[in-house]
Structure 1
């Protein structure tokens, strides 16, 4: 119980420090939320009135403490849309969770399978082909990968939609999955190469362990031996994956913007562009919570796996 309390307090403290530092960075950058969604020339009197209405003509500390006050009372409004921030996040959070955790799960599964194949067929044509293709995808920025997938599968072959998270006129579960395929593919391909390379090296080290060689010599079924290889290496692989989870989160935000996917990532990028600091800071805290939750989950699973290894 004390461990959880310490973790919660450290999370709150880090969130406050991070939010203030980022608020300062946003405060001193050019631009203003006044210009968001405005396609006409604005008069000076209109700009002054909007700055006063939104409280943007006040000092740094006053604005920050007003933000904290709204955050505690859960009564924060977006500067650009004048909507409650928590309702905006609630509308989009599910889509982002599906993309991030669905992409992370599939990336981990494919990383382990392809890494095992590469380790078992080390230096073969199959191993070299897998590594070449995946490292080529890894070298491409995630936004460029998204554009290539749109160009290939949406424009040329017309197989998948190029934007949004569901059909506006016919929002069904199947249409949702249809819209999800390209963003999910872009997210997985942009980070799979380095994960497969790590998995391959980890599996090669495991294959050289005496008990694995003994299992092959004793005539154990190959599927059973492969299971033990994956089980032995999983804690290292999952630890590496969780340490790089923040990179996966950042890539998902960029991909959401490329595909106009209705998630918190595209919302976050728009809020940074128009200096919507209440929305930006709340989304940063939410992102920090997602990363912290995943790392805590990784630590918990690693302890379970390690305990079972000791029992064996």
Structure 2
């Protein structure tokens, strides 16, 4: 247990270091965005004196390294600052958008994870048959398509032609649960299709590797039915890599929603960061980017911890 705790502690420290480096990259990258919030507020006809005055009032005349440490110190205290475009508190601005993004990612996971497990198990059981080859063709095709293409295809068939689902996901805090689920259906399906293939192929590969072990053959020689061999012996021993890839894809679901939210005009964190970039609202862009980065780092850290905890060599060292 001491060895596991030491390794987990090292992973946590590495995650914190990674997040700090990412914060530097985010702050530095945002500084190179074209345009200026002062010009965006005053218009292109503003005089240089007026631009300089509003930059000073917004604190943009302070050197970049000083602004970075001020920003980092405020973040560590839970203060994201104030949006330059509308003067609203950034935390209040982000909270409902982040909840919407989490709900979208969760709904996509509810669709994709069971289908990935089922498809991977079926492909492993009927490997090298027409069923396995068909599943591989579908998964490879879905991996090859970018998110926006999948989204537009779903809009064309399910919204424009069939008229089953709305093409725009316009929701707010007053939207009823059923209406919210209907509005989230197309973006959820888009994300599910994108991540489904990777999880399904990993499930298939893991189960096939386990099925070649001697204890599986022993269970079969005892006369156990194939379903019991699979569920009781193969699947539990194949869960470690499957759980790892599922958590990593959940991280992608949350951080990779930007394109999908823009396509469906879904009011999530991805849509907010795009709108803020257009308005040159630097503090909002920094806060959203840092939240995405922190979510990705934390979920990857969880994936690492799961792989460590489920490692028998660490649980039972000699």
1:16 aligns with 2:37: no
Q: Deviations over 1:91-114 (max 9, x none)?
A: 122111122234235433222211
Q: Does the 8 Å CA contact 1:79/1:276 hold for their aligned counterparts?
A: yes
Deviation at 1:28, TM superposition (A): 2.0
Q: Summarize deviations over 1:201-223 as a string: whole Å, max 9, x none.
A: 22211111122122223222333
Say which is worse superposed, 252-261 or 291-300, in terms of deviation: 291-300
Contact 2:101–2:254 (CA under 8 A) maintained in structure 1: no
In structure 1, what is the Cα distance between the partners aligned to 2:78 and 2:119? 49
**Matching residue within 289, 293, 297 for 2:298:** 293
Query: Distance in 2 between the 1:74 and 1:167 partners?
Result: 24
Gaps in structure 1 of 5+ consecutive residues = none
Which position in structure 2 is the counterpart of 1:113?
A: 118
Partner of 2:137: 132
Alignment map for 1:62-101 (pairs within 5 Å): 62-71=66-75, 72=77, 74=79, 76-101=81-106
235-244 or 78-87, which moves further after superposition?
A: 235-244
Match of 1:261 among 256, 262, 266: 266
Unaligned runs of 5+ in 2: none
SS in 1 for 2:87: coil
Cα distance change, pair 57–19 in 1 and its aligned pair in 2 (3 A) = same
CA deviation digits over 1:231-257, x for unaligned, max 9?
A: 111101222333455433332222122
Q: CA deviation at 1:140?
A: 0.8
Q: How many residues align?
A: 308
Match of 1:225 in 2: 229
**Which of 202, 205, 208 is the equivalent residue of 2:212?**
208
Residue 188 of structure 1 corresponds to which residue in structure 2?
192
Moved more, 255-264 or 208-217: 208-217
Aligned-residue offset at 1:192: 1.7
The answer to whether residue 63 in structure 2 is matched with residue 51 in structure 1 is: no
Q: Which residue of 1 aligns with 2:164?
A: 159
Give the deviation of 1:186 after TM superposition: 0.4
